[in-house]
Amino acid sequence: MSLRRLRKAKIIATLGPASSTPEAIEGLFTAGADVFRFNFSHGTHADHQARYDIVRAVEKKVGRPIGVLADLQGPKLRVGKFESNKIHLETGASFRLDLDDSPGNAKRAPLLHPEVFAALTNDTDLLLDDGKLRLRVVKHGPDFAETKVITGGELSNHKGLNVPNVVLPISPLTAKDITDMEFALDMGADWIALSFVQRPEDVEQARKLVSARVGNRVRILSKLEKPSAIEYLEEVIALSDAVMVARGDLGVECPPETVPILQKRIVRCCRRVGKPVVVATQMLDSMVHAPAPTRAEASDVATAVYDGADCLMLSAESASGDYPIESVVMMDRIITQVEQDEQYRVNLDASRQDPENTTNDAISAAARQVAHTIAAPAIVTYTTSGMTTLRVARERPDQPIISITPDIEVARQQAIVWGAHSVVTARPRGFSEIVTKAEGIAQREGFAEPGDRIVITAGEPFGCAGNTNILRVADIVDSKA
């Protein structure tokens, strides 16, 4: 069962209460999910292990590599409890936040995060409950902040707090995150998603922890949801294996009108350097409780596809919604429809970056051009690290990319990569064997027929990452290799 996707942009589906059975997870994959997200903000390790075991059982059944993304919670800032569980803040009133853990009232609330107070200045704005309430600091110390309520409203226990435009002296990895990450690595996750990245150093810290436990086996995806991360955008992308436009908190901490602009900027920067980019949050949000999306949501998904994003993500739609499989089907339909539009190819061609001055990029750019000229049905890459496939995907070719690799872990990681259809095969003895395998796989997986010509890229010596130096055009013969 090849289950070849008829689109190039990929889909991440979050697993949760609505999608934890073998039938549900297989249904999501069959509907179009390429990667499954495990949200460590919710659920126990036992819950995640059970879902992971099901994913791998589905993978074995369908014979296709499936990616697993472990999304860490990160340092969530929250106010404490209130005497009556909730209060109403009047606009213009004074309100105090402090380190006293006693229940709050209409005059004050516990905020047990000394790092927040350490970073405050007068006139700093504090956002509560996803930005619904706004406070402005008028006086502060190491253990308190006196504020004025700019936008009032109801505030209940443990609501979140955001501090926009302030770099907080905290790591994106809490003690819980480190425990969760170690579990996810041992479980077999292919990607670790790092929440609330603020600086390049945050990615470096995570990389050291991952490498110390599993070496280079697992990739790191940085979630861009803090304005400070945008200030270091190029550095963060350079240190990450992929990034996510996490529009939830980004939309709280940045003015809403700037989020679409930031999304395009992030996608453009990732495409320039050839790093996978995921667009996430509320893409089909109304399908949590409705069988169809709004027209605006369909347009939102389409915009990300037109921009050339590698992957789009479903959150509550697939994790806890009433229509998880229908949400994946709808996203698959929108992506497929957009990619059939002439303007889609015009956009990709117009935004293509010049190849970098390397042999890898020269071969990858040539592969795209040759495949276009001879109307090849596919480009085949042989890769041991995934780099060859990434560089070809950077070119956004007309053709799908058949990525042949001897490493199942690499194949799973590439489930997030634009246009990549990964196939695990035995390690070849030479390039002629790669050609034979490429011809047989292209035919067997439904990409090519006898008489077609395919373009093949690889690197010699084999096993050296980033060493793409071979380009071959091969004729498809009637073979079942």
**Per residue in 54-92, pLDDT tens?**
999 999 999 999 999 999 999 989 999 999 999 999 999
Q: What is the pLDDT of residues 253-268, one digit of tens each?
A: 899 899 999 999 999 9
183 has a pLDDT exceeding 50: yes
Q: Which residues of 266-298 are buried (b: 16+ CB within 10 A; e: fewer)?
A: bbebbbbebbbbbbbbbbbbbbbeeeebeeebb
User: What are 110-150's pLDDT values in tens digits?
Assistant: 999 999 999 999 999 999 998 999 999 999 999 999 999 99
Cβ(161)–Cβ(111) under 8 Å?
A: yes
Mean pLDDT across the chain:
95
Q: Are 39 and 316 in contact (CB under 8 A)?
A: no
Give the CA distances from residue 307 to residues 142, 252, 297, in Å, rounded to whole numbers and listed in that order.
45, 23, 16
Domain 10-75+172-341 = CATH 3.20.20.60: yes
Find all residues with CB under 8 Å of 83, minimum gap 6, and list them.
103, 104, 105
Mean pLDDT of 224-246: 96
CATH superfamily of 86-162: PK beta-barrel domain-like (2.40.33.10)
Rounded Cα–Cα distance for residues 137 and 148 (Å): 7
Q: What does the pLDDT read at residue 1?
A: 47
pLDDT (average), residues 280-303: 97
Rounded to 10 degrees, what is the CA torsion of 195, 13, 129, 164? Answer: 40
What is the per-residue pLDDT for 57? 98
Domain 359-475: give its CATH code. Answer: 3.40.1380.20
Indicate whether this model's pTM tops 0.85. Answer: yes
Domain spans, the chain: 10-75+172-341, 86-162, 359-475
State the first-to-last Cα distance of the chain, in angstroms, to the nearest integer.
16
